[in-house]
Structure 1
Amino acid sequence: MRITTLGTSHGDHTYCRFNSSTLYEIGDQSYLVDCGEPVNGLMIRANKPFGQLQAVFVTHMHEDHVGGLPDLIKALVKRPRTEGGTTVFLPEVEAQAGLDGWLRAMHVAWPSPVVTFGVTTEGPVYDDSLLSVAAVPTEHMAPLGAPSFAYVLEAEGKRIVTTGDLRGDFADFPEVIRQERCDLCICEITHYKPEVALPLLMACPIDRLILNHVHDPWHGEGEARLRAIMADLPYPVEIAHDGDEFTL
């Protein structure tokens, strides 16, 4: 399995990072978790074919995680999969109506049979011959009365947990990571102080941690400070950058 962190920033683009999007490649199929801008262009620059994109899983409806979806759908309509289509899983059922309207406003050939929608709810979300995905609620959007999710991805005998955005006190860090071993955790590093998370992370049965959705203090020279804070964790810790590729 190959994982490409296409975009690794927080709520805003920065001088070295774009909004959140992560591509998982399994065999000759690919899957996205989040689709912040400019995911379409980043896939093209990384030579990732749109025709291999099976599904898109959105963690929550903040713009930095979903703002690139209209442009991505335009690309999928122009370059559809040769067999079947692409399914987009949105965390709010109401989101599709707004998306439909914007696609029509941009004069995309819409609706199109090559893109379908599902709604993410707690529990199993997706399963094909290569990948199964389950959703775990988080509380990042609770003040707005809206849902947000972490995702558990299982493929090739490996388990990956990607947290999406979390609360400032880290209390909604997914229980599944605390109790069950995972081969890889991809965790945001914007909405909480690392020192708050360390005691919990120390006790988790994680084989490998990648920090993503990276806050401004940890850009550039700040990376060294973040690495020093995380140095005592009992497993490897990596800081993702736009375009980084990881193999699992």
Structure 2
Amino acid sequence: MSMDDDPSLGVPCTDLADGEMRVTLLGTGSPVPSVERYGNSTLVQANGMNLVFDAGRGATVRLTQAGVPVGQVDAVFLTHFHSDHINGLSDLWMSSYVPALGGREGSFQLYGPTGVRNIGDGMQSTYRIDIDVRVADNEVDPATTGIESHEFDTDGVVFDQDGVTVTMFTVQHDPDGAIQPAVGYRVDYAGKSVLISGDTVPTENVLIFGDGVDVLIHEVADFEDPSALPSVYAHYTNPQQAGEIFEQTQPKMAVYSHIVNGIPGRVPGISEETLIERTRESYEGPLTVGNDLMSFSSPTTKSASTTDVSGARPGVMWARTARVTQTQQKKAGARRRHRVPAFLARGRSMAKASPNERLRRRPRMDRQIQPTSPPIDVGEYVDHVATDDTVFVPRGRGGQVRKGAKAKISCIRHRVDAQVTCRVHSPYQIEPPYTNN
């Protein structure tokens, strides 16, 4: 059955092209229970492997919707041990050893910083009765019920199989460093890369390991009134800070996940449009506010072109003006590489910065291109396109795009006149969330 027949099914890892990497946001939510945003979890597929990063509430359900049998998860990596990152872990483990649900062969592979072995051993102890009765009933093979924990206390490569490497690096989940361990991960395969920040305040390691990655997935937190929950606000990265990180690392696609956006009925959050606007105060590149089951599929080849959307160079995805020469792009790239965000140059987290230090320039509005206009260049706006749509525009000569072939755009709905403006960028194909509707 194809996704056209059942939109709740995603693309199995075996359907990926050689050299392709696919990233699927299984859960993009916060600790707040939500039917729209499940608990934090991310699936990375490469070279026939399914790697899951964190297993928050509902991860098993989202994997099933994405078309990945839970028994085919090759490894799970934990960033830290807050409940919203692990409360779906036991479900994923137990479902995967039941033949009718997963049918995993061998032990469940669990990776993470110091403490992950305690979690693995604790789950086996807690659910021992389930294992014993299923084994006694000849339902499961006891060899499939074990958890093999891989625990690491230093940064570095923690997984290296069949050309796929996973590197773990330390982050800082709170201003005082009380929440330890806390880590992020970078996955590399066939020249492609994705970074998952984990929960963190602005941290230099994200800049180091995220420099020039294809996809940078970063958590974000913001409220209508940031002073409403100062202790929560201080444990995450706000959109202005995240924008500075994206500006420095210049990913092909910057993605928000683990979106901490208020508490229903208690603390008002902000709209996705406002989240984007606040990010645009410090970053103008490719940006997506993630939703559950949104997928990012990398191209299988890379081009040296710096203007054509089909081969945009990492770090220079879109221009401030209609055309930017290669020389101008190289100079801009050099400036970005040597510029250190102010909050790092000052040697302290923006969580402790003064209000004046948080101020950033207002986003500049470029001119809009009407649908009846001549062919548009990468970086210019097009209008009359629904938010989160993928537009089909062909690529013409000289880096132009025309009505008819595929290119991703980013859309912002203005609060004043409710008009939607969109911008062409990035060779990445962004697919809409799969739903059961």
TM-score normalised according to structure 2 size: 0.51
- What amino acid is the match of 1:239? V
1:80 aligns to 2:129 (yes or no): no
Structure with a larger share of its residues in strand: 1
Deviations 1:116-162 (A, max 9, x none): 22113321100100410010011216314x20111010012112111
1:8 aligns to 2:43 (yes or no): no
Contact map agreement 1:159 1:184 (CA 8 A) in 2: yes
Partner of residue 112, structure 2: 90
| Secondary structure at 1:16 match in 2 | coil
| Secondary structure at 2:62 match in 1 | helix
Range 48-57 or range 29-38, more displaced = 48-57
Contact map agreement 1:34 1:59 (CA 8 A) in 2: yes
Partner of residue 126, structure 2: 102
1:23 aligns to 2:43 (yes or no): yes
Q: Distance in 2 between matches of 1:199 and 1:66?
A: 29
Q: Distance in 2 between matches of 1:223 and 1:20?
A: 18
Find 2:203's aligned residue among 171, 174, 181.
171
Q: Distance in 2 between matches of 1:45 and 1:204?
A: 32
Runs of 4+ that moved beyond 6 A: 218-221
Q: Distance in 1 between matches of 2:279 and 2:209?
A: 17
Correspondence list, 1:152-171, <5 A: 152-167=186-201, 170-171=202-203
What's the offset of the Cα at 1:194? 1.4
- Considering only CA atoms, is the larger Rg found in Structure 1 or Structure 2? 2
Instruction: Report the RMSD for the aligned CA atoms in angstroms.
Output: 2.6
Range 155-164 or range 85-94, more displaced = 85-94
Partner of residue 287, structure 2: 237
Find 2:157's aligned residue among 124, 132, 137.
124
Find 1:56's aligned residue among 68, 72, 76.
76
Q: 1:186 to 1:224 in 2, by over 3 A?
A: same
1:195 aligns to 2:240 (yes or no): yes
Range 233-242 or range 91-100, more displaced = 91-100
Q: Distance in 2 between matches of 1:94 and 1:81?
A: 22
Q: Distance in 2 between matches of 1:24 and 1:201?
A: 20
Structure 1 unaligned runs (5+)?
none
TM-score normalised according to structure 1 size: 0.87
The aligned length equals 243
What's the offset of the Cα at 1:220? 9.1
Q: Distance in 1 between matches of 2:39 and 2:203?
A: 24
Q: Distance in 1 between matches of 2:208 and 2:103?
A: 35
Contact map agreement 1:22 1:33 (CA 8 A) in 2: yes
Find 1:215's aligned residue among 255, 260, 268.
260
| Secondary structure at 2:127 match in 1 | helix
- What amino acid is the match of 1:228? E
Deviations 1:66-87 (A, max 9, x none): 11111111112112345x5541
Q: Distance in 1 between matches of 2:242 and 2:93?
A: 36
| Identical-residue share of aligned pairs (%) | 23
What's the offset of the Cα at 1:106? 4.5
Q: 1:106 to 1:129 in 2, by over 3 A?
A: same
Q: Distance in 2 between matches of 1:162 and 1:15?
A: 23
